[in-house]
Each structure stands twice: as C-alpha cells, then as structure tokens.
Amino acid sequence: MNTLGSGPVGVTLDVRPDGGHLDDAVLLESLGFSTIWITGGQLKDGLDPLRDVVRATETVSVGSAIIPAWGYSPDEVIALCQDIESTHPGRLITGLGGVQGARPLKTMNAYLDRLDEARPPVPASARILSALGPKMLELARDRAAGALPLMVTPEYTGQARRTLGDAATLAVMEFVVLEEDPRAARDAAREPVAFLSEVGGYPQNLRRMGFTDEDIAGQSDRMIDALVAWGDADAVGARVGRHLHAGADQVVLVVQPTTPDTVPRREWRELAEVLLH
C-alpha cells in the first residue's frame, strides 16, 4: 500500500550551480515520473534545492533522499516543511536518515519526537526513513509512512515488505545504467557502489544480503549485477518489475550516465517510454 500516494516510478535529480536542474525537473514531470527525489549529497549546502524544485514544477511530488539528521536539526526540517506546506500543500515527502553514533534508533526516535512536537507537526504520513536493517525498518513502519532503502536486491525488497507489513510505503532506490556492454555498465556503477560500501549501515546490509567481504571490497561483478539495473530499457524495466512484484510501491531510478558529468536526459526519455507508457 502506497500511503504517500505517489506512483510506481520515481527518479533522482542532481542539483547544478547554474540552476539548469530546474529545467530538468520540469522535463521529468512532463515525462510522467511520479516523484522527483533530491539525494542527500545534493543537500549538503542547504535545503533550498527542495524548495526550488517544488516551485519550478506543478504537481509532481518532491522528496528528500535523504535529509541527513547529522547535518540538519529538527528545527531546520520543521521550518522547511512548514514553508513548503503553506504554499504547495502535499507536495513534499520528507526523507530522513543518516543518524550517527552508537545508538541510532534512540537518536532517530528523539529526532522524530521533535517533529511530532512542532506546531503544526511534520506528520508521520509525510515522512519516510532511510532504513536498511530490521530495527530501522520497524521504526519506519511505526513512526513514518515507510522506508526508502538504497542499494538492495529484489530479494531484500520482499523481506523488507514482510517487515513493514501491508500498510507502509516501500520506495526502493535503484542504480540504473542504460548500457548493454557489461564492462561499461559495471564500470559506470562501481564508483557509487564503492563509496556506499564503506558508509554507515551499508556494509552490514550487504553482508546480510549474502555478499562476502571480498565482494564488498572489490565490488565484484556478482555484487554489481545484483544491485544495479543495467542493459537496455527493457532490461531495466524487467528489474523494476521484480522490485514491484516483491513488494515495492515505488522504484526510484538513480541513473548513472556512462559519460561522466553529463545529465542523463536521453536515458530519462528512453526509460520513461518503456516504464511510463
């Protein structure tokens, strides 16, 4: 059940200093993507990109994937949500995560308490948690609309759905490389996978999904193929279908172009043609 009311295919958008990403947001909305997500790395200098994308578009949902709790206080998140809600009600999905320290569940619970205490509050129905392990998935089920995991297999998606139950939203973020050559596709995916393989709870979750320390250290072909949708648009569509069949409400396409520092407009159009029509 998708309690956020968004459709089955979302997409991430990178922020550019020249503001060109706002034109890209308009394009993505016109192509029919259900949600435009701004990743945490794009929010390191402030939360204004979320405001800007909401204002540049008409009706598409805009989500944070995620606002890092270590980087922004609850008061900053409350101010953002109240600001956007006052002018564009129902447009923002507040994705939260990135808690650090020895007791992440306690830290996130305290953070959510502050959001609940605001007047008006940031309601559980409008927020989603970056969750990987079973305890954080349970927290996402109990204190948010659902979970937003990244770098997971369709088998994980099925397990996460069982933990979340039927009422919570499950939006799965999926690296995508629209490239049929295996070496080129895997090479395009390795940099982001390698980075996340050393961050937070990702290494533990990779082991939980059955990957070895050797797989993780070397980003083995086996691991890349299990975590990344690559090939032509039909192959990517099949992979998206596997996540949806396993219990995802939305699959968020994190498109990795094979040419560095390019905007994947061609890929967005090809994927929209297969997945959204």
**Six-digit token pair at 35?**
């949600």
**Six-digit token pair at 10?**
């979302």
Entry pTM: 0.96
Burial 29-45 (b: 16+ CB within 10 A, else e): bebebbbbbbbbebbee
Tally the residues of the chain.
277
Q: Which CATH superfamily is domain 9-275 in?
A: Luciferase-like domain (3.20.20.30)
Sites in the chain below the pLDDT cut of 50 = none
Which pLDDT value is given to residue 3?
63
Do residues 70 and 97 make contact, with C-beta atoms less than 8 angstroms apart? no
At 10, which helix (H) or strand (E)? strand 9-12
In angstroms, the Cα distances linking 110 to 64, 93, 116, 134 are 20, 20, 10, 19
**Six-digit token pair at 103?**
């007791």
Which pLDDT value is given to residue 1?
54
pLDDT per residue over 15-58, tens digit each? Answer: 999 999 999 999 999 999 999 999 999 999 999 999 999 999 99
Between CA 67 and CA 174, with CA 113 as vertex, the angle to 5 degrees is 30
